[in-house]
């Protein structure tokens, strides 16, 4: 990939039910779309405490492939509303994508509020 086509994968993990709202924020910030996966934590108890934080077993994972120059904008849009300090308890990180086939990165019209 050339510098102008560098891509990133944004991974956002949150309590169950918040990924759809996080995706709305990402779309408002320019994301074309994403994939939401529903999962379950490997913690054996229904709720557990880790460093004073209650860990809920039901999780959502939002995956967004974006242009590198959109990465920080999208991550900020998501975590400003649904970050670790919110009820979503969302964590967000990104990974560089070495190659991608079948994605369109043409802009979409903005979502209305």
The string of pLDDT tens digits covering residues 30-85 is 999 999 999 887 766 555 666 666 666 789 999 999 999 999 999 999 999 999 99
Is residue 60 domain-resident? yes
* Least confident segment among 20-29, 50-59, 82-91: 50-59
Phi-psi region of 95 (alpha: psi -120 to 50; beta: other; left: phi over 0): beta
The span from the CA of 58 to the CA of 71, in Å, is 26
Question: Which three-class secondary structure state does DSSP give residue 31?
Answer: coil
Is residue 102 domain-resident? no
Q: How many domains does the chain divide into? A: 1
Is residue 111 domain-resident? no
The confidence score (pLDDT) of residue 64 equals: 98
The three-state (H, E, C) secondary structure of 58-95, written as one string: EEEEEEEEEEHHHHHHHHHHHHHHHCCCCCCCCEEEEE
Domain of 44, in residue numbers: 14-96
Is residue 113 domain-resident? no
Is residue 80 domain-resident? yes
């Amino acid at each position: 990939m050339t510098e102008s086509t560098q891509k990133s994968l944004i991974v956002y993990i949150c309590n169950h039910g918040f990924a759809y709202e996080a995706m709305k924020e990402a779309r408002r910030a320019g994301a074309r779309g994403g994939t939401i996966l529903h999962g379950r934590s490997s913690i054996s108890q229904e709720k557990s405490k880790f460093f004073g934080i209650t860990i809920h077993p039901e999780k959502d994972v939002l995956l967004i492939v974006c242009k590198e120059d959109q990465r920080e904008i999208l991550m900020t849009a998501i975590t400003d509303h649904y970050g670790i300090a919110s009820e979503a308890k969302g964590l967000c990180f990104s990974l560089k994508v070495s190659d991608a086939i079948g994605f369109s990165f043409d802009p979409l019209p903005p979502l209305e509020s």
